[in-house]
Amino acid sequence: MRSTERLLDQLNRAFGGEAWHGPALRNLLDGVTDDQAKSHPIRGAHSILELVVHVGTWNDVVAQRVGGTAVESKDVDDWADVAKIQWPEAIKRLEKAQSKLADAIARLSSEQLEEPVAGAKRSRFSEIAGALQHTVYHSGQIALLKKAL
Amino acid sequence: MTADDVRELIAYNRWANRRILDACRAADRSAFDRAAGGSFGTIKDTLAHLAWAEWLWLERYQHRSPKKASLPEATDLASIEGILTDVGRGQEAFVSKVKDADLDERIAYQNIKGETWEYTLGHMLQHTVNHSTYHRGQIVTMLRQSGANAVSTDFLLYFDETT
């Protein structure tokens, strides 16, 4: 299996496929209502809506970087104010970012995967691996929030 | 993904586990044993599960299929830290010898139920890190819930701190 295929497989499994580590992110969001997404069932923790917007924002940034556009982390609207974002819109944003990232990876050769990502010294592989870990990390948190609802 | 990429992932995983252990050590002792409603109830149980899984997958990379853990009992933070330290050393020694072509080697193993599965070594190594990351997210949430200081284990922070 080519390097990019292996990464795409992992990314797809973590998002909507058969993940091994636990439920895939998109599957976790099935059946979550608008009210549940906005609630804070665990003191001190973000809401599901906030986490979904956060993951979507960063996957979009990583897709841009992998595609050749340098994006400074300080310029990213991280932990965006979600007051005006409706739950279905947040899911659409997440899906769009996921699709954009998968498309960016699919266009890479194995050699390009090991080259520096736009605007940083780390490789494209490291950038994508970071996005994958980020998605999985917050998936664990969303699973926990759902149990606490 | 190359063998060097895998070594980076495993090094990241060890770094992230150390940060989680440090955060648990700094937290109120009672928070460690308090049920928080996650997949494994308490921070202690979640961390013990993470350590057990890392040990089990390390066995499977090496063509072994243990049906039960031959590990010290995970009774407290110190014992779990001991397991993770040993397993981390084992992982590092294992990946230090891995070559690019090895990542496509298909390895068959029997799971705890006795069912046979087969995956490439590359997938198994990636899965190990994914599984621990998934549960680290839960542990950090449980720490926050208990009022303890949160700790970041982000991959890009690892880069900033180690390069």
Q: How far apart are CA B75 and CA B67, in angstroms?
A: 20
Mean pLDDT calculated for residue range A120-127? 94
Q: How far apart are CA A134 and CA B13, in angstroms?
A: 13
Full set of structural domains in chain A with CATH: 3-148 (1.20.120.450)
pLDDT of residue B40: 62
From residue B14, give the alpha-carbon distance in Å to each of A36, B10, B30, B81.
34, 6, 25, 11
DSSP A59: H
Q: What are phi and psi of A30, to 5 degrees?
A: -60, 130
How far is the first Cα of chain A from the last one, in angstroms, to the nearest whole number? 41
Mean pLDDT calculated for residue range B101-105? 95
- Helix or strand run (H / E) with residue B16: helix B3-26
Full set of structural domains in chain B with CATH: 3-162 (1.20.120.450)
Task: State percent of chain B over pLDDT 70.
Answer: 97
Q: What are phi and psi of B41, to 5 degrees?
A: 75, -70
pLDDT of residue A1: 64
Mean pLDDT calculated for residue range B134-155? 92
Tell me the pLDDT tens digit for each residue of A5-56: 888 998 999 998 877 778 999 999 999 999 999 999 998 899 999 999 999 9
**Does residue A144 have a pLDDT over 80?**
yes
Q: Does B134 touch chain A (CB under 8 A)?
A: yes
pTM of the entire structure?
0.95
Tell me the pLDDT tens digit for each residue of B20-69: 999 999 998 888 888 765 556 899 999 999 999 999 999 999 999 998 88
Q: Does B36 touch chain A (CB under 8 A)?
A: yes
Map residue B61 onto helix, strand or coil: helix
Q: At what angle do helices B43-61 and B3-26 cross, to 10 degrees?
A: 160
CB pair distance less than 8 Å for A1 and B147: no
ipTM higher than the 0.85 cut: yes
Show which of residues 63-122 on chain A sit within 8 Å of chain B, judged by CB atoms: 73, 113-114, 121-122
